[in-house]
Amino acid sequence: MRIARTHAELDALLEQHLHAGERIGLVPTMGALHEGHLSLIRAAKDACAVVVVSIFVNPLQFTDENDLAAYPRDDERDLDLAHREGVELVFLPPVAEMYPEGATTTVTVGPPLTDVLEGAARPGHFDGVATVVAKLFNAVRPDATFFGQKDAQQVAVIRKLIAELSYPIELVVCPTVRDAEGLALSSRNSRLTPEQRPAALSLHRALQDGERVLTGGGDLEVAEKQMWATLSSTPGVQPDYARAVDPETFESPRGGEVLLVIAALVGKARLIDNLVVELPSEKGNR
Ligand code: PAF
């Protein structure tokens, strides 16, 4: 496994693969790798000749300095995990390599998608994500990129970024990986104390409750209220939102597939989760 810390090193290591026309897969990460990331790497390994993993804690997408400072970092462990998965190349740039002194250019995927839910809770967050991902696409020039369904709104933002900036890149969305009790894996779970874990499990339970309402023929509003009730009745959980939205636009569902999305604070961890539900009938129109 090779490690590039600068664009020049990355170019040199990619050259032979680009020249040979090999299919390159990019898995963008902020490190703190867990089984969710490893599932993306495995999907990339299955589909591509060369897998590039980027590890970069992107300051631009943090709206809270403390959150950035508290973000878990362990390059040695991450590199070891990537190596074990057979990753060919890791791009591990320092902040100054990604954002040279004086850089002021950013990429914005416009509202309404980026203003609602996670965008409302973390203003500017999706500008930071779109900017760093565009820069990674430009640097790596992948044929395919791999993202987790766990961050469903981020997936919708990247889908628009790829389409509207005409990147010739396939977006592969991999299923959310959960632990044995249903908690969606996230680097933020490391902030949960053992006592807070039962509260964190209420997110998945709330989604399942919402799904039951919809598949039983209930309305979107009833599903949203049910999810909120499940979250708010769990001690130690402060719900932020519980919504049923269109999976691509994050506006009101138009029928067919509905995305149930929730966010809640459990202790110091702001957790998000989601579930795609196929509507049984014409329940999409409010
Ligand atoms: O999902 C993440 O870890 C980050 O938002 C990403 C896509 C690596 C961009 O920094």
Q: What pLDDT is recorded for position 45?
A: 98
Closest C-alpha to ligand 1, atom 1: 29
User: Do the bridges between strand 2-4 and strand 89-91 make them parallel or antiparallel, or are there none, so unpaired?
Assistant: parallel
Average pLDDT, the chain: 96
216-264 pLDDT tens trace: 999 999 999 999 999 999 999 999 999 999 999 999 998 889 999 999 9
Q: For ligand 1, atom 2, name the residue with the nearest CA.
A: 29
- Rounded Cα–Cα distance for residues 183 and 84 (Å): 25
Tell me which amino acid residue 277 is.
V
Q: Ligand 1 centre and the CA of 62: distance in Å?
A: 11
Q: What is the mean pLDDT of residues 194-207?
A: 97
Share of the chain above pLDDT 70, in %: 98
**Interval 61-90: pLDDT, tens:** 999 999 999 999 999 999 999 999 999 999
Is there an atom of ligand 1 within 6 Å of 136 CB?
A: no
pLDDT reported for residue 286: 54
Q: Which residues of the chain form beta strands (DSSP E)?
A: 2-4, 24-29, 50-55, 89-91, 144-148, 170-174, 237-245, 257-266, 269-278
What amino acid occupies position 256? G
- Which residues does the annotation mark as catalytic? 37
What digits encode the pLDDT tens for the residues 95-123? Answer: 999 999 999 999 999 999 999 999 999 99
Q: What is the mean pLDDT of residues 89-96?
A: 98
Instruction: Give the residue, by CA position, lying nearest to ligand 1 atom 7.
Output: 28
Nearest to 128 by CA among 208, 195, 191, 63: 63
Residue 280: per-residue pLDDT = 79
Helix (H) or strand (E) holding 190: none
| Contact partners, residue 181, CB within 8 Å, separation at least 6 | 197, 201
